[in-house]
Amino acid sequence: MIEVQSLNHTFKIGKKGKEKKIEVLKNIDFHINQGEIIAIVGKSGSGKSTLLQVVAGFMKPDTGSVKVNNTEIAKFNEKQSAAFRLDHFGFIFQNFQLLPNQNVFENVELPLKLKGVQPSIRKHNVEKILEKVGLSHVADHYPNELSGGQQQRVSIARALITNPPIILADEPTGSLDSQTEIEILDLIKHLNKSANITFMIITHDEEVAQIAHRKLRMHDGLLLGDVKHVI
């Protein structure tokens, strides 16, 4: 489903002429099968978020290949990447990234608007997904009126609304207390089992990594180990 080969990325920092190069991704190879939950673990600064940004097409690698369902996406231009993302990826972030001036319904509806889906179909699909994540009763609330767990459920609903086969998650429970973390991880496991959604989860939390079928460890730009793990 996702096949990453020989991926390299370097950031240049500092003034022109005196630039310092930081090699953040060093010859990364890995694959993710359909229906898998993969955790990318590793210390802060090891390159996990950069890897997710490159897989999502937000950032272009210096060299290497990223294939999703056999389509090479690493060399897409911005417009192609954005269109591909809408059809293939949903995103969950640590800080939820909800629009503060839009209510729950409108936040979840947004990706469908971007895809040009008709209003009546949008309404039907948003209502269905809000029911699925247990948020129908707060559809007209604004993000600041919700708990952290509820806000993360809204962002999960927004990630799911376009029916993507893959969800990319960057520290999805990083802002949540331990009880809410368990609820969100249960929801992720349920979505994986019931809808066969593939998850790539970036985390430095071993609890989160426990729900993964495989753990890949990043260390200083290198991807180490491929630890088999059964849920």
Q: Which of 104, 100, 108, 96 is nearest to 174 (CA)?
A: 96
Identify the residue among 30, 48, 98, 165 touching ligand ATP (CB under 6 A).
Answer: 48
What is the maximal distance between C-alpha atoms in the chain?
57
Rounded to 5 degrees, φ, ψ at 100 are: -65, -25
Report if residue 215 touches ligand ATP, rule: CB under 6 A: no
**DSSP H or E segment with residue 41:** strand 37-41
Nearer to ligand ATP, 52 or 133 (CB): 52
Binding of ligand ATP by 204 (CB under 6 A)? yes
Query: Which tokens is 92 given?
Result: 């969950």
Interface pick for ligand ATP out of 4, 38, 41, 47 (rule CB under 6 A): 47
Minimum CB separation of residue 220 from ligand ATP in Å reads: 9
Verify binding: residue 46, ligand ATP, rule CB under 6 A: yes
CB of 78 to ligand ATP, least distance (A): 17
Segment interacting with ligand ATP (CB under 6 A) among 41-49, 77-85, 101-109, 153-161: 41-49
49 binding ligand ATP? (CB under 6 A): yes
Residue 125 binding ligand ATP, by CB under 6 A: no
For residue 175, give Cα distances in angstroms to 7, 122, 135, 172, 184.
30, 29, 19, 8, 11
Nearest to ligand ATP of 42, 111 (CB atom): 42
C-alpha span between 171 and 85 (Å, rounded): 19
